[in-house]
Structure 1
Amino acid sequence: MVAVFSLNTTLIQANEQGVIRHPVAHSNVPVSAAVEVPASASLVYLSGKLPPLIDSSQPSDSPLAYGGNTKGQTVAVLTAIEKTLADLGLTLGDVIKMQVFLVGDPALDNKMDLAGFTEGYAMFFGAQAQSNLPARTLMQVSGLANKAFLVEIDVIAVRRN
């Protein structure tokens, strides 16, 4: 078992030019337990992204204007992050750390919609999308800049020099 883990780590390192992603033991959650970055790489910190306006026919303080529920807003935010990364010559595969802030959904008795977030996240990270998984922190917060926002995500990406 130790040899298999070492082999997997070596393969990951070889595939990512020195970035080592350590899987979470005994879990199928699409995140890394830890990510190591070589000294030869630089880190790119993206500011937190909120969902963009998607439906201007909705009131600006309605979640429907920004993708609706947590899943819709997660997809909108990750799409915006993907575009920002592309503008910088990077991809979601270069993301090594992600912080996720979820507001409690009024439709779920003000509890964060982890299932909705996970569905949206899985469209971008994991075996089906791409296999480079970031270390991730996910937390519920009491509110964001607009009461319609349910999701904010910030990421750190690595640029291999």
Structure 2
Amino acid sequence: MNKALTHALKNAVSALLIPAAVGLLAAPSAMAAAKAPKAADIVRHKIPNSDFPIALAVTVPPTATIHFISGQVPAVIDTTAAPDSLAAFGDTKTQSETVLKKIKEILEGMKLEMSDVVKMTVFLVGDPAKGGKGDTKGFMEAYTQYFGGAQPNLPARAVVQVAGLSNPGWLVEIEVVAAKK
């Protein structure tokens, strides 16, 4: 090949290969920047193909502050009843309502809202009026007043039946974890 043609080919190849090589070298850092998590929001993962009002999982970024709220128990609704009786605290729905109201008030005192709850654990005692089974229906009637309707931020949640709580009149105890960026 003559010198002029060889020189022209080298210049053409250089013109094509050098920018391509620079692009390849820059691509990993550009891809990393595109994939690098920003100060992410709290992500609530929905249960696929379900409208049940709990999250499948909740992802809390390291930039969020996490608040652990101790288990809350029912408020007395009938002061004339024995203080260790179901009559003093009501059925599962009523007890759940008073517990969730307490949790809401605690959160508000911390400048948080029910929508900041990311995890909930519910302890239900078997209701004698329900054959000793936990009244999940009654609990859900109270729960959906706070989660799943107008307030769409759902927590990850567990509901377990326990043999008893420290007061024989209690059918419900609820603890929550809240998080806020």
TM range (shorter): 0.7 to 0.9
Q: Which whole-Å deviations, capped at 9, do the CAs of 1:9-53 have from their partners, x for residues lacking one? A: xxxxxxxx7010000112221000000111111100000000022
Distance between the aligned counterparts of 2:133 and 2:163, measured in 1?
10
Could you say which residue in structure 2 is the equivalent of 1:18? 41
> Residues 36-51 of structure 1 correspond to what in structure 2 (within 5 A)?
36-51=59-74
How far has the Cα of 1:122 moved from its partner? 0.6
Distance between the aligned counterparts of 2:49 and 2:122, measured in 1?
23
Report the 3-state secondary structure (helix = DSSP H, G, I; strand = E; otherwise coil) of the residue aligned with 1:65. Answer: helix
Q: Which of residues 161, 169, 175 is equivalent to 1:140?
A: 161
1:157 aligns with 2:154: no
1:113 aligns with 2:126: no
Q: Which of residues 70, 74, 78 is equivalent to 2:100?
A: 78
Counting matched residue pairs gives: 142
Could you say which residue in structure 1 is the equivalent of 2:148? 126
Distance between the aligned counterparts of 1:53 and 1:44, measured in 2?
26
Q: Once superposed, what is the RMSD of the aligned Cα atoms?
A: 1.0
Report the 3-state secondary structure (helix = DSSP H, G, I; strand = E; otherwise coil) of the residue aligned with 2:111. Answer: coil
Distance between the aligned counterparts of 2:147 and 2:175, measured in 1?
15
How far has the Cα of 1:119 moved from its partner? 0.7
Report the 3-state secondary structure (helix = DSSP H, G, I; strand = E; otherwise coil) of the residue aligned with 1:75. Answer: helix
Distance between the aligned counterparts of 2:51 and 2:113, measured in 1?
23
How far has the Cα of 1:78 moved from its partner? 0.2
Distance between the aligned counterparts of 1:34 and 1:116, measured in 2?
24
How far has the Cα of 1:54 moved from its partner? 2.2
Report the TM-score when normalising by structure 1. 0.85
Could you say which residue in structure 1 is the equivalent of 2:122? 100
Q: Which whole-Å deviations, capped at 9, do the CAs of 1:85-118 have from their partners, x for residues lacking one? A: 0000000000000000000000011000111111
Report the AA paired with residue 110 of structure 1: G
How far has the Cα of 1:63 moved from its partner? 1.6
Could you say which residue in structure 2 is the equivalent of 1:32? 55
1:88 aligns with 2:137: no
Could you say which residue in structure 1 is the equivalent of 2:26? none
Could you say which residue in structure 1 is the equivalent of 2:18? none
Give identity over the alignment, percent: 45
| Structure having the larger proportion of residues in helix | 2
Could you say which residue in structure 2 is the equivalent of 1:14? none
